[in-house]
Amino acid sequence: MSFCLDTDVIIDCLRGTPKTIEWLTNNNTSKFYIPAVVAMELIIGSQNKSDQTRIRRFINQFEIIWHTEADTKLAFNLLLTHKLSNGLSIPDCLIAATAIQRDFTLYTFNLKHFRIIANLDAKSPY
pLDDT, tens digit, 9 for 90 and up, residues 39-72: 999 999 999 999 999 999 999 999 999 999 999 9
Walk along the chain (126 residues) in steps of 10 and give the mean pLDDT of each run. 95 96 88 97 96 96 97 98 95 98 97 95 96
pLDDT for the residue numbered 120: 98
- Domain, as residue range, for 13: 2-123
pLDDT for the residue numbered 30: 82
**Crossing angle of the two packed helices 49-59 and 36-44, in degrees rounded to 10:** 160
Contact predicate 76/93, CB 8 Å: yes
Specify the CATH number for the domain of residue 51.
3.40.50.1010
Does the pTM exceed 0.85? yes
pLDDT for the residue numbered 41: 97
Q: Domain count of the chain?
A: 1
Contact predicate 88/113, CB 8 Å: yes
pLDDT for the residue numbered 28: 78
Contact predicate 94/75, CB 8 Å: yes
Contact predicate 26/125, CB 8 Å: no
What Cα–Cα distance (Å) separates residue 83 from each residue in 4, 7, 48, 88, 107? 22, 19, 32, 5, 21
pLDDT for the residue numbered 29: 76
Q: Which residues contact 90 (CB under 8 A, 6 or more apart)?
A: 37, 75, 79
Cα–Cα distance, 69 to 24 (Å, whole number): 30
